[in-house]
């Protein structure tokens, strides 16, 4: 069973962009960015399927590793190699894991509103943004009255943007209750910090200044941790903090986000052209 559905491909060009949405959303999250991105690039979108009924027999089936494997399967199915992958929220860490397992698929990771661990760890000096009581309270609220929880959570996640909140609320409410709760446990109680040490692809970590779920301190932690992988890593890990609010900048600040993505894509294209030019020069040298 695959957890992705409704795969769509638009646009065309030498660079492939894969857009992976986060928890509770669907591919319509990217609608405000799609016309500009697809004008010069091949863009692949899909939906994570949160609608399947979970049961006791399959408890624990949702893991970041399995989402990563499905992302790999999707990219293989579409013949993707060397893509710019934009992973939002939970998909950011799934993309990190996938990039370690299959580095040939990833030219650049854009980690949008990402967090490897939401739970604070005072003994390690790690600030994830939530203590255990807050997370337990949230999961309890989801379990007891999911609709009420969605109606309270979504306006904050949408940064107070009422039009964005309407679409998000509909998407969140389309999730199967048991799936929503199990995936939330996976996200908020998980710890994916270790994978950051192994990510080799260049990364742009994009955070929102007023994101209650993934504060900018988490982005700096990610940058510092990924910089330990090699002496060259510092130049390959960039943090961009957007002057906005909420956890869904695709809806609230699309032009700001689009500017970041276009800069990443331009840089990747320039690097690819430089690489091709270097191959030609090397070839001439060999012939000589």
What is the torsion angle, in degrees rounded to the nearest 10, for the CA atoms of residue 53, residue 58, residue 64 and residue 70? -70
Instruction: Choose, from 38, 89, 91, 171, the residue flagged as catalytic.
Output: 89
Asked if 202 and 265 count as a contact pair (C-beta separation under 8 A), the reply is no
Structure tokens at 96: 């990190």
Q: Is 247 a catalytic residue?
A: yes
Return the exposure string of 92-110: e unless at least 16 CB atoms fall within 10 Å of the residue's CB, then b: bbbbbbbbbebeebbbbbb
Structure tokens at 18: 């894969």
List all residues 6 or more positions away from 249 whose beta carbon is below 8 Å from its beta carbon: 112, 113, 206, 208, 242, 256, 257
CA dihedral (112, 117, 122, 125) positive or negative:
negative
Asked if 40 and 13 count as a contact pair (C-beta separation under 8 A), the reply is yes
Q: Is 211 a catalytic residue?
A: yes
Among candidate residues 73, 74, 116, the one with its CA nearest the CA of residue 219: 116
Structure tokens at 287: 């012939």
Q: Is 285 a catalytic residue?
A: no
Asked if 78 and 7 count as a contact pair (C-beta separation under 8 A), the reply is yes
CA distance 253 to 207: 12
**How distant, in Å, are the alpha carbons of 2, 9, 19 from that of 41?**
26, 10, 12
Run of H or E residues at 24: none
Which are the catalytic amino acids? Answer: 89, 211, 247
């Amino acid at each position: 069973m695959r957890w992705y559905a409704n795969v769509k491909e638009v646009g065309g060009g030498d660079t492939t962009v894969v857009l992976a949405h986060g928890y509770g959303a669907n591919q319509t999250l990217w609608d405000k960015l799609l016309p500009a991105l697809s004008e010069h690039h091949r863009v692949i979108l899909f939906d994570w399927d949160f609608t399947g009924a979970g049961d006791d027999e399959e408890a624990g089936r949702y893991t970041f590793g399995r989402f990563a494997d499905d992302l790999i399967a999707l990219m293989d199915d579409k013949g993707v190699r060397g893509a710019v992958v934009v992973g939002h929220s939970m998909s950011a860490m799934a993309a990190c894991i996938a990039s370690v397992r299959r580095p040939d698929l990833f030219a650049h990771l854009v980690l949008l509103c990402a967090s490897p661990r939401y739970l604070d760890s005072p003994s390690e000096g790690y600030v994830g943004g939530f203590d255990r009581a807050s997370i337990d309270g949230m999961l309890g609220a989801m379990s007891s009255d999911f609709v009420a929880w969605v109606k309270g959570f979504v306006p904050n996640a949408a940064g107070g943007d009422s039009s964005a909140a309407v679409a998000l609320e509909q998407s969140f409410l389309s999730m199967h209750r048991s799936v929503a709760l199990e995936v939330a446990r996976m996200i908020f109680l998980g710890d994916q910090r270790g994978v950051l040490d192994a990510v080799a692809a260049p990364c742009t970590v994009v955070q929102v200044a007023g994101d209650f779920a993934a504060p900018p301190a988490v982005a700096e932690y990610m940058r510092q941790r990924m910089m330990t992988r090699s002496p060259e890593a510092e130049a390959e890990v960039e943090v961009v903090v957007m002057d906005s609010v909420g956890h869904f900048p695709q809806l609230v600040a699309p032009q700001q986000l689009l500017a970041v993505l276009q800069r990443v894509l331009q840089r990747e294209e320039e690097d690819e052209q430089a690489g091709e030019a270097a191959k030609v020069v090397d070839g001439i040298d060999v012939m000589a």
